[in-house]
Amino acid sequence: MQHLSRGMQQRLCLAHTLVHDPPLLLLDEPASGLDPRARVELRDILRTLRDMGKTILVSSHILSELAEIATEIGIMHRGRLLISGPVDQIRQQYADQRIIQLRVAHDVQPAIDALQALIQHPELADEHAHGLVIDHISEDPEHPTRLRLVCEGLTDAQQAALLAWLLQRGVVLCDYHLHLEHLEQVFLRLTEAEA
């Protein structure tokens, strides 16, 4: 086994573990040493095993990969469990900022005008999207219709109200997508007091 590459050793260890069809898998950094294709294959294998009813406990420092396969997560720091629970719940609970990406059908200017009108009226902004900031307007000539907004503490009701505000002002949307912070950002926020 010593003559195998690190990635091949990881694959062999996983195959060796699965031979006995265990109900529980404990994996420590299973993607370590794998090339991009092998990482994708590993994620697919872990999802398949999860769908088969296997319990899989993965220890990893690569939080972005865990977010793609895990249903529950525990964040540990200096030997202490800081928080645990469903991935989406933790991301929503600890995300200070929510990012909204918009793509309009034609010209981006009507969307900008509608959003600036909202920002200029604090009572409307509080109702529709507290702390709304137009963070980025795409300067890419191939994608001139994209906007990126940052909102602090955006509730589901405010997100719906913001969408309704844009539609009522004739903005034709092709895409309206909410992004939560990455798990790395949540980890940094939870551990910054102890750093």
Q: How many CB atoms are closer than 10 A to CB 135?
A: 14
Q: Are 40 and 100 contained in the same domain?
A: no
Q: Are 65 and 139 contained in the same domain?
A: no
Asked if the structure places residue 90 within a domain, the reply is no
> Which comes out higher in pLDDT, residue 139 or 189?
189
Which one of the listed residues 29, 41, 68, 152 is annotated catalytic? 29
Q: Residue 91 and residue 114: Cα distance in Å, rounded?
A: 29
Cα-Cα end-to-end distance for the chain? 40
Average pLDDT (156-173) is 84
Active site residue 29: yes
What pTM does this model have? 0.59
Q: Would you say 119 and 132 are in contact if contact means Cβ atoms under 8 Å apart?
A: yes
The CATH number given to whatever domain includes residue 146 is 3.30.70.1710
CA distances for 76 relative to 28, 80, 92, 120, angstroms: 14, 5, 18, 42
- pLDDT at residue 56, as a whole number: 92
- Overall number of domains in the chain: 2
Asked if the structure places residue 187 within a domain, the reply is no
Give residue 26's domain range. 6-70
Q: What is the CA radius of gyration of the chain?
A: 22
pLDDT in tens, 61-87: 888 778 778 889 888 888 889 889 998
